[in-house]
Amino acid sequence: MNSHGRDIKIFTANSNPILAREVADYLNLPLGKCEATTFSDGEINISIGESVRGYDCFIIQPTCDPVNNNLMELLIMIDAMKRASAARITAVIPYFGYARQDRKSRARDPISAKLVADLLSTAGANRVLVMDLHAPQIQGFFNIPVDHLVGAPLLSSAIKEMMGDNKDDYVVASPDLGSVTRARKFAEKLDCKIAIIDKRRPKANVSEVMNIIGDVEGKKIIMIDDMIDTAGTLCNAAEAIVKIGGASEVYAAATHGVLSGQAIERIQNSPIKELLLTNTIPLPDEKRLDKIKILTVAPLFAEAIERIYEDKPVSPIVT
C-alpha cells in the first residue's frame, strides 16, 4: 500500500505478537523488525531494526497483563520512532489497560486512565486506535484523535449463527446494572428480549440478593459484557439466572478476556455452556477451556489501519 506519499509499517512488542502478525498478514505486509528486551534490573530496551523515517507507523500493543511492562514497551517504542523521524505514529491498543480507573470514586483517588492518555501523547503518538473502552468517555481524555472500534458486531454475528431461526428462545441478559446499555444494544442487533440481573446488599455483612428483571424461565440466556476479569459477577449472575430465574441454558460473550485470579476455575464450574471472547488479549494454553471460543479481531483492525493510513473515515466499520 502506498498512499499520500508515505509508506506504511506495522510493529509490535511482546504483548500480543500473534494478533499483530495476523493483522499484518491481512494487510499483506511484513511485521517491522523490532526487539523489546529487558535489562537485568528490569528496565525495558527497545531496538528498532529498520528505518522508519517518513513512514506511517502503527504499533500493535494491547496493555494487558503484565500491564506496566506492556505499557512501557509501547511508550518507549513510540519515543524511539518519534526520535527516528517517523511521519506519523498510531498506537493500536486493542485492550486499553487502566480503563477502569476513569473517575474519582473516592476522595484522593487517581484518574489513571487520563494519566495513561497523557503519557501516550507525551511519548509522541499522533493518534490512537482502541476497541471497546470500559468507559467510552475516555476518548475525551486524549488531545489527539481516537478511533474507537466495537466488538459487538463480531460477537453478535457468531451468536446469530448459533441461534439460527430460534431467536424467540433466547434472551440477552445484563450481568449487572452497569452493563444495561450494552445489553440493550446487543439485544437490538439480535432482535431479542432483554433481562437485567439486579444484585443488592440489604445491609453490611448480609449476602447479596439477586433479582431478575425480565422473563427468563425456560429461555436460553446470552450474557454480554465488555470484559471478563475475575468472572465473579458473570458466574454469580449465571447461577442466579438458572436457579432463581429458571433459565434452561446460559451463554456468555465479551470482547476482552482478562481472566485473572480464579476466573478460569469459576467459568469451568459455572452453568455457562459457552463463552465467546475475542483475541484482543492473548489466551495462554493453561487458560484454554473447551467452553471458551475465541474470535479474531484481526480483520477489523486491519481494515481500520488501512482506512487510517489512506485518510478514509473509520466510522463505516463501527456499527
Pairing mode, strands 6-12 and 2-3: antiparallel
Q: Is 199 a catalytic residue?
A: yes
Which of the following is catalytic: 82, 160, 185, 199? 199
* Residues recognised as catalytic: 199
